[in-house]
Structure 1
Amino acid sequence: MLSISFRHMPARITTALALTLLASGAIAQSSDPIKVGLMLPTSGTFAELGKTVVNGFKLYVSENGGKLAGRTVQYVELDDESDPSKANENANKLVKRDRVDVLVGTIHSGVAMTMARVARDTNTLMIVPNAGAAEITGAMCAPNVFRTSFSNWQPGYASGLLAARKHKTAVTISWKYAAGDESVRGFREGFEKGGGKVIKDLNLPFPNVEFQPLLTELATIKPEAAYVFVAGAGQVKFVRDYAAAGLKNNIPLYGAFITEGTLAAQGESASGLQTALHYADGLKNPKNDAFIASYKNTFNATPDVFAVQGYDAAQLFAAGLNAVKGDTKKKAEMIKAMEIAKLESPRGPLSFSKSHNPIQDMYARVATGNQNVMTDVIVKALADPSPDCKI
């Protein structure tokens, strides 16, 4: 190996050589691809959601010529299998073996929390494009961890405000796990702020879908409204069971994700259901119009909230990279730029709180055909208080 000694060289030659070596290092940095670690499910229950998030992320990069801050992008993709027991090993593979510049993931909150621990321990930049666990931007918050989706509290709180517009009493139904508890807590806070009262919280173990005993109890209690938090196949069955039990027309049902991505499977049972979320089908703004057209042209499909969250993860990463002209070694400067970023998102204005959780508008939506159509804005620029974050 060639060894260069500066000891006996004239000062002017030493300086010139040093500058040359520094320049060659900068050229190598700029010519190397940026490594993006996409740790999302490609199999199992959440595979389609993972695919849509990835589509959104890659769409933004594609719209920028396949580069971010002038550097090509290399994707290192890993199926997290929505399995928390494998999360530590998988995240460490991407960080320590593949040396990714950013860790992007995931759908499952349990997996995401382990990823966040790895990111925090290794000072790896991480962007969460879905999982809403409060801890990620709460007690576990870190300078290098951001979220472009929501906290479970946000859509729950907005749903409570929405239901309180027409009703004074409500019962909640949810799976008994962290996401369900956090969503219900948000609903209760919003509903009570609007003058309502939650009479009772009903729940069943995750991922049990035997809802009939709870629906029978709900019918006996006879509240003015009900709020539900279940996901995936559970939300399809719940909405169908709710309508079949004759409750739909007697106790109006509210939720956040209860009709998201499942309207076709839910059919007439979902028609007219009101939900609250940070995106709505056909939301009218110039950025969303362009986003929908671009997504349809690229993937021959209509984008949903998960695609938006992936797209904005790429936008946020780009905001950091642009601030340092692609020099990923300037991590502190990147993080500062991401903290103050004000993104033009398909969902509307998007910025970030002290805990790095999205500050975003929340929309009232009604299920019409195969779309969740916006009716109005429930609350503008909603930020999760994140009282446990100590950044």
Structure 2
Amino acid sequence: MRTRITAFTLGLTAATALSGVLFAAPADAADPLRIGFITTLSTPAGYIGEDERDGFKLAITQEDGKLGGVPVELVVEDDALKPANAKQIAERMTGDGIRLFTGVNFSNVLSAVAPTVLKTGAFYVSLNPGPSVFAGGGCNANYFVASYQNDNFHEAGGLAANELGYKKVVILAPNYQAGRDALEGFKRTFKGQVVSEIYTKLDQTDFSVELARIRSAAPDAIYQFHPGGAGINFAKQYANSGLAKEIPMVLPVFSMDARMMAATGDAAEGYYIASNWSAGLDNAANKDFVAAFEKTYGRKPTIYAAQAYDTAKLIASGLDKVDGDIEKQDAFRAALKAADFTSVRGSFAFAQNQHPILDWYLMRVERGADGQLADTVVRKVATAMQDAYAAECKM
């Protein structure tokens, strides 16, 4: 599926969009800068791509179809969570002259897309995954990560488990790059004992065997990373098994974001979450973003939307400084590296490997005044955390 999003389609009202009527571009409109946006819009993980696309679109909408004053056209395609599909799309887009890319939301897909894009001399700015293979010796001058390095979320999870006093933990994640990075990150900071390390399938839906192993191990808590539909299934099955009443759960926000909370009902109440962002994070940029997203789309934003919005703002800061001419590569790189924008996550800077340095928080899923579940900040667990691979990058 391919969608072209311009200043004109972004400006449609809901009624116009439903009617299928589009406005024609003025004859004298400047050619927009095309941004390739390859993401997952189908499969049970499709809502993640939707939130990323919509968060990025919001920044464009707020500039009336521009980023950094530069008219842009977002070329969106669905990778269906298949690396081979994504690679073919990237090859087609680069062949069509697109020189700036973002959108991928899974590390295994990014591992197919990023090299394809970078070998042509184009730019890739990640709005979600930050696999370790591109963070150290595999870093690249045209590759930026606006979101996080994969391990960081789980290093924060280890710190959160320490804060909560857990001594024996079972850890679980899917057996792919981000899952392996997740458990390595958790083990790097957790001071207690990992009594069992369990890898699941990326598309797994039934976790009965894993739940039996958890019960047998009798840990103080579990730490699990399962984004999207897999995480919803895991949380429901964990609650139905009765384990949720016996063994607390610590998890990254990707395993229980706002849309997952809505899908799991009461199952997530009391879970502890490690994250660098919350809808309730107290800064002006975040409050404005959350209000604008809810007004525009009629739903609460997830961290995926927040990171995508930040990514768009980062790109805008770069485009502004080169007047949209990204063929001025040295200048565009320097402009991106400066990170001259206000992040909804608060403090933001790049390490030498062009991955972000961020603050991290322990949160708890609690009911708000409106009776709805939401993650609530308990305390900060890390300030200005840099990833473990930055020193290996020789840029």
Q: The TM-score by the shorter chain falls in which range?
A: 0.7 to 0.9
Distance in 2 (CA, whole Å) between partners of 1:70 and 1:243 is 49
Q: Secondary structure at the match of 2:244?
A: coil
- Structure 1 match to 2:388: 385
Q: How does 1:260-271 map to 2 (within 5 A)?
A: 260=257, 261-271=259-269
- Structure 2 match to 1:15: none
Q: Secondary structure at the match of 1:243?
A: helix
- Structure 2 match to 1:284: 282
What is the deviation of 1:197? 2.0
What is the deviation of 1:158? 0.4
1:299 is the counterpart of 2:297: yes
Distance in 1 (CA, whole Å) between partners of 2:50 and 2:200 is 29
Q: Counterpart of 2:77 in structure 1: which amino acid?
A: L
Q: How does 1:16-95 map to 2 (within 5 A)?
A: 31-95=30-94
Distance in 2 (CA, whole Å) between partners of 1:155 and 1:303 is 19
| Aligned partner (choices 197, 200, 204) of residue 204 of structure 1 | 200
For the structure 1 residues 206 and 73, does the alpha-carbon distance in structure 2 shift closer, same or farther, using more than 3 Å as the test? closer
What is the deviation of 1:216? 1.9
Unmatched 5+ stretches in structure 1 = 1-29
Residue identity over aligned pairs, in percent, reads 29
1:264-291 per-residue CA deviation (whole Å, 9 max, x = no partner) reads 1212221110010111132111111111
Distance in 1 (CA, whole Å) between partners of 2:180 and 2:299 is 33
- Structure 1 match to 2:10: none
Q: Secondary structure at the match of 2:74?
A: strand
- Structure 2 match to 1:174: 173
Q: Secondary structure at the match of 2:129?
A: coil
| Aligned partner (choices 159, 162, 166) of residue 160 of structure 2 | 162
Question: Number of residues paired by the alignment?
Answer: 358
8 A contact 1:343–1:351 mirrored in 2: no
| Aligned partner (choices 334, 349, 363) of residue 361 of structure 2 | 363
What is the deviation of 1:388? 4.3
1:122 is the counterpart of 2:120: yes
Q: Secondary structure at the match of 2:119?
A: helix
Q: Counterpart of 1:197 in structure 2: which amino acid?
A: Q
Unmatched 5+ stretches in structure 2 = 1-28, 367-371
1:327 is the counterpart of 2:325: yes
Distance in 1 (CA, whole Å) between partners of 2:43 and 2:217 is 37
Q: Counterpart of 1:246 in structure 2: which amino acid?
A: G
- Structure 2 match to 1:374: 377
What is the deviation of 1:87? 2.2
TM-score by length of 2: 0.86
Could you list the runs of 4 or more consecutive aligned residues of structure 1 that deviate by over 6 angstroms after TM superposition?
none
Q: Secondary structure at the match of 1:354?
A: coil
1:103 is the counterpart of 2:106: no
Q: Counterpart of 2:66 in structure 1: which amino acid?
A: K
Distance in 2 (CA, whole Å) between partners of 1:169 and 1:69 is 49
Q: How does 1:212-361 map to 2 (within 5 A)?
A: 212-256=208-252, 257-260=254-257, 261-361=259-359
Distance in 1 (CA, whole Å) between partners of 2:331 and 2:156 is 34
Larger deviation, residues 41-50 vs 357-366: 41-50
8 A contact 1:171–1:226 mirrored in 2: yes
What is the deviation of 1:342? 4.4
Q: Counterpart of 1:219 in structure 2: which amino acid?
A: R
Q: Counterpart of 1:107 in structure 2: which amino acid?
A: N
8 A contact 1:161–1:191 mirrored in 2: yes
Q: Counterpart of 2:79 in structure 1: which amino acid?
A: D
8 A contact 2:68–2:318 mirrored in 1: no
Distance in 1 (CA, whole Å) between partners of 2:354 and 2:318 is 13
Q: Counterpart of 1:148 in structure 2: which amino acid?
A: A
8 A contact 2:148–2:355 mirrored in 1: yes
Q: Secondary structure at the match of 1:53?
A: helix
Q: Secondary structure at the match of 1:345?
A: coil
- Structure 2 match to 1:152: 150
1:150-193 per-residue CA deviation (whole Å, 9 max, x = no partner) reads 2221111101111112112211122222221110111111112x
Q: Secondary structure at the match of 2:285?
A: helix
Distance in 2 (CA, whole Å) between partners of 1:242 and 1:68 is 43
What is the deviation of 1:214? 2.2
1:87-127 per-residue CA deviation (whole Å, 9 max, x = no partner) reads 22210111111x12311120122221111101220110111
8 A contact 1:129–1:313 mirrored in 2: yes
Distance in 2 (CA, whole Å) between partners of 1:202 and 1:69 is 45
Distance in 2 (CA, whole Å) between partners of 1:376 and 1:123 is 42
Distance in 2 (CA, whole Å) between partners of 1:181 and 1:41 is 21
